[in-house]
Amino acid sequence: MNPWDSAYYGANQPLFRVGQVPVYVTTLFVAAQASAMILFALLGYGSTLENALTFSFPAILAGKLWTLVTYAFVDQLNFFSALGLVFFFLFGRRVEEQLGTRRFLILLAVLVIGPTLLLTVLGFVGVSHRDNEFYGGHHIHLTILIAFVWFHSHAIFWPGIPAKWFGVFFVALATLQFLGMRLWVFFWMCLFTLLLGYITLRRMGMGMKFAAIEEPLLSLLPTGKSKGYRSSKRKLRVVKKPKKHTYESKLTPKVEPKTTSPSASVDHLLEKISREGIGSLTDAERKQLEQASDQISKGEP
């Protein structure tokens, strides 16, 4: 099944509509970041407002707790920041459709406040540099892009590049950029946010498609089943029933079992996707959905 097909995603309702235009969480986040970039460009970079919204450990000591969140909207308007917004709008909308509004909001909140909470803790214990500032949403944009890649690692980007290599390229590009500029806070927070996004999605019952990377990372998760996780190992209890002798009359015509069309056999799966998202399907249900899709594409009854 083509992961770019909109029918593959759960039917997620928008928050509201402006005329005929649906507005989602992704839409609001992109609009807020774009508006902030334009405002800071008009005021001039380094303005009083920009400094008041930028995160730093001294700012937290001064009582500016809002910077734990507002830092994500402080960024300069340039080609790379605009490209990040475009990627977030394209792939964030796909991830939101797959997770559903509530779980996507949780993921976004974790990605925004997680790095600054860690930097605050490190500041109190004296590990981090107390004068380093942290701002921008680049780590959030990158993690949402990689979340899409985790879900659909075999999707094809132009010109024929698998999504997994597309994701590897942008992770390498971002980390090498921060490494070359010696922006250590941005470098480590970029990697930390990717790990935080991975753990959050796993706790939501979602999974990624890179087994070589996934297995070592699973050891970092707490023991026990995550919410929404469906184990593939199920204990079967065998109950012996007494044998019953049945007699079939030779005059009774045999009734052929009714066959169901592929579309009818997956109706309940599509309803489940509509309610809970694609991540709620078990491995067996995903396989059934793919088989039905293949039968429909081949025109089989």
Strands (E), 55-184: 55-56, 133-134, 156-157, 161-162
Reported as a single tens digit per residue, the pLDDT across 190-211 is: 889 989 998 888 888 776 555 5
pLDDT given for residue 53 in this prediction? 92
Q: What is the spatial distance between Cα 153 and Cα 156, in angstroms, rounded to a whole number?
A: 8
What are the backbone angles phi and psi of residue 88, rounded to the nearest 5°? -65, -40
Report the chain's C-alpha Rg in angstroms: 25
pLDDT given for residue 116 in this prediction? 92
Upstream peptide bond of 216 is cis (omega within 30 degrees of 0): no
Read off the pLDDT band of 220 (50, 70, 90): low
Reported as a single tens digit per residue, the pLDDT across 249-281 is: 455 555 555 545 555 566 777 777 767 767 677
Beta-carbon contacts of residue 272 (< 8 Å; ≥ 6 apart): 280, 281, 285
CA separation (Å) from 178 to 30, 37, 69, 248, 289?
23, 21, 21, 78, 43
Read off the pLDDT band of 298 (50, 70, 90): low
Question: Is the whole model's pTM more than 0.75, yes or no?
Answer: no
Reported as a single tens digit per residue, the pLDDT across 157-180 is: 767 777 777 778 878 888 888 888
**Domains recognised in the chain with CATH numbers:** 10-218 (1.20.1540.10), 262-298 (no CATH)
